[in-house]
Amino acid sequence: MRFSKNRIGAVLIILMLLFSCETKTHQTETKPEHTKKAAIILQEKQVDTVVSNQIQNKIIAPKGSQIFDESVKLRYLRTVNGYRLTAIKVDECEDSDDSIEVANSDKTISEITFKEDSFSITFSAVENCCSAFLCEAEIIDKATLNIIYHPFGRHCSCNCKFEMEYTFTFDDALEEIGQKRTVIKYVQFNNEPTSRVEFKNK
């Protein structure tokens, strides 16, 4: 069977039109997919930004000296060692100078008092005059009570001596499960082994 040139030409045109329509349809179908992915990425970035802003809004800087409640160290001190830091006292800054006498009083214990269910440690710390303190404690080296105070706040051009008192009570939760409290033999300050002294009445 013979086809005239006109028929062959018409068939070729129809085939070209079909191929062209198929290509356009494919492009039309794939284009929204890229747009959809871009929109999802944009939404994820917007969500991350919102969450980040919410977290930043919830962060509140501490005001004044206070116990670092629910810190990992204090939680471990309570649940594993059987002691709870229940109160801190920080007196107003005194002797605001850099004399040798003031410097030598840094991290020195003036008194340890014991009661039936608690004990208190009174000590001196030389820090910046404008400091406030975030307070916590931990047991290290199996028997050393490491008293920690994190200074924060404005930085002034002087140092001075602060009198501090930490009060610890005994947590009975360990005894209820048949465990004993950690026996404290030494006390030191802010991870400085040179400040370590025996844990006894003074």
Q: What was the pLDDT predicted at 28?
A: 47
Token pair belonging to 109: 């214990």
Report the C-alpha gap between 71 and 56 in whole angstroms: 19
**DSSP strand pairing (66-67 vs 132-140):** parallel
Q: Which of 128, 91, 96 is nearest to 110 (CA)?
A: 91
Q: What was the pLDDT predicted at 166?
A: 98
Q: What was the pLDDT predicted at 76?
A: 96
Residue found by looking up tokens 């006292």 in the block: 89
The pLDDT averaged over each successive group of 10 residues in the chain (202 residues) is 58 67 50 59 60 56 84 96 97 70 84 95 94 96 97 90 96 87 96 94 71
Q: What is the dihedral of CA 163, 169, 174, 180, to 10 degrees?
A: 70
197 burial type by CB count under 10 A (0-12 exposed, 13-18 middle, 19+ buried): middle
